[in-house]
Structure 1
Amino acid sequence: MTKAAVFYGFVMAIILAILGCYLFLLWFTDYTFLAGLQIIKSQGNLGKIVALGSILDLLAFGILLQLKQEMMARGVVLAVICITILTLFL
Structure 2
Amino acid sequence: MIKKDVIIGIIVGLVANTIGLILAAMLLGGGDDFTAVIKAAISEGFLGKLISLGAILNLIAFFVFIRKRQDYKARGVLLITVILAVCTFIFKIF
TM-score, structure 1 normalization: 0.92
Q: Does 1:4 align with 2:4?
A: yes
- In structure 2, stretches of 5+ residues that fail to align are none
**Residue of structure 1 equivalent to 2:57:** 56
List structure 1 segments (4+ residues) > 4 angstroms apart after TM superposition.
Answer: none
Please state how far the C-alpha of 1:53 moved relative to its aligned partner. 0.5
Could you tell which deviates more after superposition, 79-88 or 15-24?
Answer: 79-88
Please state how far the C-alpha of 1:31 moved relative to its aligned partner. 2.0
Deviations 1:67-86 (A, max 9, x none): 00000000001101111222
Residue type at the aligned position of 1:25: A
Please state how far the C-alpha of 1:19 moved relative to its aligned partner. 0.5
CA distance in 1, matches of 2:4, 2:85: 22
**Residue of structure 1 equivalent to 2:38:** 37
Q: Does 1:17 align with 2:20?
A: no
Query: 3-state SS of the aligned residue for 2:69?
Result: coil
Percent identity over paired residues: 30
TM-score, structure 2 normalization: 0.88
Query: 3-state SS of the aligned residue for 1:57?
Result: helix
Residue type at the aligned position of 1:19: I
Please state how far the C-alpha of 1:35 moved relative to its aligned partner. 1.8
In the alignment of these two chains, the number of paired residues is 90
Residue type at the aligned position of 2:59: L
Aligned alpha-carbon RMSD (Å): 1.1
Please state how far the C-alpha of 1:33 moved relative to its aligned partner. 1.6
